[in-house]
Chains A and B, each alone.
Chain A
Amino acid sequence: MSCNDCNKVGDPRYDELKLYIDSLRDKPHFESYLIAVLHRAQELFGYLSEETMNYVSCDMNIPTAQIWGVATFYHFFNLTKQGKHTVSVCMGTACYVKGAADVLETLKKELGVEIGETSDDGIFTLGEARCVGACGLAPVMMIDDEIYGDLTADKVISIIKKYREEAKGAA
């Protein structure tokens, strides 16, 4: 894509992003608002796609190599499309001792993804967490803000099934 396409994207989220960028344009060191702009973009799109980064590059006149540097430096930025739910397996010491690795393996198999990836149905993104402060329930995983403890392989599968059915029911 090139600059000439900037205004042709036809997605209202880009209009909103443009409004935000325009509101910063007169500030001193406009380019230093890149991180704020990328945050806004991630809020709007859920992640930073190449298309979005190209858009920001053209509109802010910052080379993509620099945007890519910022986007890959901060863990907060997602570079791939995120699922509806984020599943984080606690890999802290207590959970690890109690079998977090098996929980993770089960999830990888059940969802068909590696860490950081999103399942084909777009429902789950798999991640790792450090200690979530629920060591008494080890091993635990979080789905969004909900904690599930005392996990076994069967329990993990049934929890995932529940979310999957809910998501499909809603759709």
Chain B
Amino acid sequence: MKANEITIYINNKQYKVQKGQTVMQAADSLGYHIPRLCYHPKLSIEGACRVCIVEVEGAKSFVASCAAPVVDGMRIHTNTKAIRQARRDIVELILDNHPQDCHTCERDGNCELQRLSASMGISKRFFEGERKHYEEDHSSKSVVRNPNKCILCGRCVRMCSQIQKVTNLGLAGRGFETVVMPAFEQGMEDSVCVNCGQCINICPTAAFLEQGHSEAVFDILSDDSVVKVVNVAPSVRAAIGESFGLEAGTNCEGQIFASLRKLGFDYVFDTNFTADLTIMEEAAELVERITTGGVLPMITSCSPGWVKCLEQFHPDMVAHLSTCKSPMSMAGAIIKTYFAGKIGVDPKHIVNVGVMPCTAKKYEAARPEMNTDGNISTDYSLTTRELAWMIKSAGIDFVNIKPEEPDNPIGLSTGAGVIFGATGGVMEAAIRTAYYMITGKEMGEVKVEAVRGFEGIKEATLDINDMEIRVAVAHGLGNAAKLMSIVKKHPERYHFIEIMACPGGCIGGGGQPYPMTNSIPLDEKSLAKRASALYNSDDANELRRSHENPFIKTLYDEFLGEPLSEKSHRLLHTHYQRREPNGIIPKEIEPLSA
């Protein structure tokens, strides 16, 4: 017998397993999927829901398999009559004070609780309990909180504090009156919520949802008095297929553009183009900061969740944020000026919709700093989930539709634009163009492998014209907090930092499709598949560098002049502010324990 190997019995079958695992982990590896609810592999063990109980011979009561370690000689039963009954009762008790309004619920059909109930065989109800009657919190531009649907599994609370280190959500009160809420029962809008939407992703029910704009967009689409324009973010194409039952990482770019035309948009644009534009400005800004002794490290500002996080938790670092607007807000600015001029329409009569993997983009769209000459740049920001719903609701056959191309001049993009959607992508794209701006030559190898992948913090050192450029990338705000504490201790260590609020970058955004039945939120395998869709698209593109995009060249020739020109500054750059939301501002956010 190998060291660390022990013998256990599951359902009377003998197995050799590694010591130090939980019963659930061992069972998972042996092909027994024990039902679960409050458990998540990325979060601490809560042991709150008791759905994952198993029978262990000799134990005086049922054992929560998520928390119990395997022991040599353990005899475990996962599917006896008694355990099935107990589990069924537990789930029914959870359903007891649940609204049970599945047919009018946004998560009908992709609700974990609904699936669990079905798998328990709950077809007849034995208990009826008192329901919850709380007010829904619609104060936030991004995230709706509905405690009536909450089953108190606490996954959002742990997500918010352990992965994102924002700790906006907590469990308040006790017993039946326990509610997940921000401190002081304040609205999400006034709280330290950064709008990342990861609570929505991780929630098994509909206790958190995005602030929906799909009905408003349907209304606009039937309004003939306005020009309807849409732009689609890079990572949406890598994930939306999952809403239609396609494998994660299926690139649905062409189907999206075709569907948007069928929905009634007059001009269908690609945010990848303005990702290229962002790179032109951001790389130029970086080169300027490095060569003229500007504030370093420069930190990316495309992720609106991260921007708010920095503004409120690291207000002393505001000057480090790149002044560049995000690709979405740059798209809005160009659509309502350059493009409006090209089609000869008053920008007031253009409605611009962004399709984003993100809930915080709704907040960004509403920030007055993003306005263009007094006009709102992005009138509506939809999540990937909302667009998927609109396509279904309009009866468009997404899976079988003939793929189409986006419209120019805000359509054609390079491989550098599309990789924005994965963690490290903005960094890699910026390096490709910054190299050219500094040396006048193209990089030999366009791939910057060191900044790819799902390591929490990635670092790379580049040699550009005998100049050592040190960069770092973090994704997920917990990793960002860790990186910020390094930067505060060693302000000279990096020149350029990319931070994305969501784990995996935009591909793991708070507005992306709910996981399919066979996977879990934040599943790294799914995220990796989504990322590979973007990297494959980069590989397949003849143009790999933002500055090679012919329409970018035309835009500068015809309209902007050059990167960082006066016009670029007016339209494509902005400023950020210190924020003091009501609630916590801890002096420093403790680094995650390794």
Known A72-B172, A72-B173: A65·B167 in contact at CB below 8 Å: yes
Contact B590 A65 (CB under 8 A): no
9 A-B pairs, CB-CB below 8 angstroms? A2-B585, A61-B590, A63-B183, A64-B183, A64-B584, A65-B169, A65-B170, A65-B583, A72-B173
B439 smallest CB distance to A (angstroms): 44
**What chain A residues lie within 8 Å of B184 (beta carbons)?**
50, 53, 64, 68
- With A50-B184, A66-B167 given, can you name 19 additional A-B contacts, CB distance below 8 Å? A3-B586, A3-B587, A54-B584, A58-B587, A61-B590, A62-B586, A63-B183, A64-B183, A64-B184, A64-B584, A65-B161, A65-B168, A65-B169, A65-B583, A65-B584, A68-B172, A68-B181, A72-B172, A73-B173
Known A2-B580, A50-B184, A72-B172: A61·B588 in contact at CB below 8 Å: yes
**What chain B residues lie within 8 Å of A53 (beta carbons)?**
183-184
Binding site for B on A (CB under 8 A): 1-3, 50, 53-54, 57-58, 61-69, 72-73
Taken residue by residue from 273 to 286, chain B's Cβ proximity to chain A (1 for < 8 Å, 0 otherwise) reads as 00000000000000
Known A2-B580, A68-B184: A58·B586 in contact at CB below 8 Å: yes
Known A64-B184, A67-B183, A69-B171: A54·B587 in contact at CB below 8 Å: no
**What chain B residues lie within 8 Å of A1 (beta carbons)?**
580
Contact A54 B583 (CB under 8 A): yes
Contact B183 A68 (CB under 8 A): yes
**Smallest CB gap from A49: residue in B:** B184
B318 smallest CB distance to A (angstroms): 14
Residue from A63, A65, A69, A72 whose CB has the most chain B CB atoms within 10 Å: A65
B13 at the interface (CB under 8 A from A): no
**What chain B residues lie within 8 Å of A66 (beta carbons)?**
161, 167, 170
Residue from B167, B587, B588 whose CB has the most chain A CB atoms within 10 Å: B587
B521 at the interface (CB under 8 A from A): no
B174 at the interface (CB under 8 A from A): yes
Taken residue by residue from 166 to 198, chain B's Cβ proximity to chain A (1 for < 8 Å, 0 otherwise) reads as 011111111000000111110000000000000
**What chain A residues lie within 8 Å of B588 (beta carbons)?**
61
Expressed in whole angstroms, the Cα–Cα distance for A3 and B172 within the complex equals 23
Interface of A, helix, strand, loop or mixed by DSSP: helix
**What chain A residues lie within 8 Å of B160 (beta carbons)?**
65
Contact A68 B585 (CB under 8 A): no
Known A64-B184, A65-B168: A72·B586 in contact at CB below 8 Å: no
**Smallest CB gap from B312: residue in A:** A2
Contact A68 B170 (CB under 8 A): yes
**What chain B residues lie within 8 Å of A54 (beta carbons)?**
583-584
**What chain A residues lie within 8 Å of B586 (beta carbons)?**
3, 57-58, 61-63
**What chain B residues lie within 8 Å of A2 (beta carbons)?**
580, 585
B153 smallest CB distance to A (angstroms): 16
**What chain B residues lie within 8 Å of A50 (beta carbons)?**
184, 582
A1 smallest CB distance to B (angstroms): 7
A79 smallest CB distance to B (angstroms): 9
**What chain B residues lie within 8 Å of A69 (beta carbons)?**
170-172
Contact B167 A3 (CB under 8 A): no
Expressed in whole angstroms, the Cα–Cα distance for A61 and B587 within the complex equals 6
**Smallest CB gap from B182: residue in A:** A65
**Smallest CB gap from B580: residue in A:** A2
- Which positions 117-171 of chain B face chain A at CB distance < 8 Å? 160-161, 167-171
**What chain A residues lie within 8 Å of B585 (beta carbons)?**
2-3, 58
**What chain B residues lie within 8 Å of A61 (beta carbons)?**
586-588, 590
**Smallest CB gap from A50: residue in B:** B184
Expressed in whole angstroms, the Cα–Cα distance for A54 and B580 within the complex equals 12
Expressed in whole angstroms, the Cα–Cα distance for A61 and B584 within the complex equals 9
B254 smallest CB distance to A (angstroms): 44
Contact of A63 among B167, B181, B580 (CB under 8 A): B167
Expressed in whole angstroms, the Cα–Cα distance for A61 and B590 within the complex equals 9
**What chain A residues lie within 8 Å of B167 (beta carbons)?**
63, 65-66
B469 smallest CB distance to A (angstroms): 34
**What chain B residues lie within 8 Å of A65 (beta carbons)?**
160-161, 167-170, 182-183, 583-584
Contact of B174 among A62, A67, A72 (CB under 8 A): A72
Known A1-B580, A73-B173: A63·B587 in contact at CB below 8 Å: no
B411 smallest CB distance to A (angstroms): 44
The 7 closest A-B pairs by CB, nearest first: A65-B170, A63-B167, A64-B183, A68-B183, A69-B170, A64-B584, A72-B172
Contact B583 A64 (CB under 8 A): yes
